[in-house]
Amino acid sequence: MRRAEDRRRLTLLDRYPSRTLAAALGVLALSLLDAALTLYLIEHGAWEMNPVMAYFLSRGPFAFVVAKYGFTAVATAIFVLLSPLILPRSGIRARHFLRGALFVFAAVILWEIVLLLRLFSQAPPSG
């Protein structure tokens, strides 16, 4: 930005780097995978620890998936819109929050895979 007054304004772009799109799509895809794995684990004795998502789960699997995806989509859209900003006094770029969400979802998926492996190792042999 050329002018000092422009630096004090919130500027929203309508074009974003392809990495931002890739991270956003990754977060949304991992959110859906998380929902599917969560539902599978719950069918096999696990429980939902997040009280908000437990509420939607009590309303049924469809409500759970719609709520999970909806919350994630809104948060992801906000992260994308704010991604060009630099947080005052910290120098942290807001786009790092989108990458952080991608990392958190990846960690959750890895944990769910660990739980699935434990579940499969305890299952009695079929036949």
| Furthest CA-CA distance within the chain | 74
Residue 9: band (very low, low, confident or very high) from pLDDT cuts 50, 70, 90: low
Domain residues for the domain of 48 are 17-109
In a domain, 29, yes or no: yes
Model confidence at 26: pLDDT above 80 = yes
Higher confidence at residue 14 or residue 2?
A: 14
Render pLDDT for 111-125 as a digit per residue (tens, 0 to 9).
Answer: 999 999 999 998 676
Is 62 contained in some domain? yes
Whether 89 maps to a domain, the answer reads yes
Structurally, the chain folds into a number of domains equal to: 1
Task: Indicate whether 3 pLDDT > 70.
Answer: no
Residue 127 lies in a domain: no
Alpha-carbon distances, residue 107 vs 13, 41, 65, 101, 116 (angstroms) = 30, 16, 19, 10, 14
123 part of a folded domain: no
Q: Give a yes or no: residue 117 inside a domain.
A: no
Residue 126 forms part of a structural domain: no
Per-residue pLDDT, 84: 82
User: pLDDT at position 115, please?
Assistant: 96
- Give residue-wise pLDDT tens across range 52-90: 999 999 999 999 999 999 999 999 999 998 888 888 888
Average confidence score pLDDT of the chain: 89
Instruction: Please indicate, yes or no, if residue 45 is contained in any of the structural domains.
Output: yes
> What are the two backbone dihedrals, phi and then psi, of residue 86, each rounded to the nearest 5 degrees?
-115, 125
